[in-house]
Structure 1
Amino acid sequence: MRTELLRTIGAATAAYGIAVACRPDWLARPTGLVGPEGNTGPHTAMVLRPLAWRDAASGLAMLLAPAGPALVTATAVRIASDVGDAVLLGTTLPSRVRRAGTVVTALSWAALALAALAAPDHAECEPRF
């Protein structure tokens, strides 16, 4: 497990989640969940904020969990959230391009976290003489 990479992913996820909780437009615009004039409606913002706080919480868990089972669990929650986003948003967003982009983004983050979880630690990769 690449603990340092998992912590970096956690920090990035937490920062993004906090940013979107404050500015739902940062998620609404790329996913196409805006009105005809490009603005995010109050109901859309209300629905996106819990997703953002979920990302912030799971990212903080990855950042702060002790190495070992707690970090593995926090990472599994993050991966499951990303896969869930890919399935839910990938089947319900208003345009094919937005759905594809969202699926690629969500599954890329899930794959990165999974790879960091499955990869051997740096100490295990160093040659022993």
Structure 2
Amino acid sequence: MSKRPNLYELSGAGLQITYSSSSFEGKPHFNYHSASLNRLFVGDQIRSTETELGTLVSVVIQETTDAGSTTFTVLIPRVNLNLSDSAPIVTDGITALHRGSIIGQPNGQLDFYTVQPLRGTAAFVVF
């Protein structure tokens, strides 16, 4: 019988990410920690989308009215936990700068990406 992980602890490129798809209160939690930002996102502050690549889990790490926003997305791979409660994983995080303006859309490319390699563990825990 295989289990699906519900807790991911990842790090790399100066980032530490902890994502749980559930919690004691029944809501997902996403902790983003870098040299310049340490923030916990809960519930509907977290967007999760199933794709062919895996699950894309995104949070808005910076938002300004006049300049756009910055999001962080981690690609959660599919993992089966057969005999153990955890497994090592390797994946990527993507920081995206989304250009914007209060006086209309700027010309040219609006989204710029930085990819950070991440590694860590996927685990099944009981909340």
Normalising by structure 1, what TM-score?
0.24
Pick the structure with more helix per residue: 1
Normalising by structure 2, what TM-score?
0.24
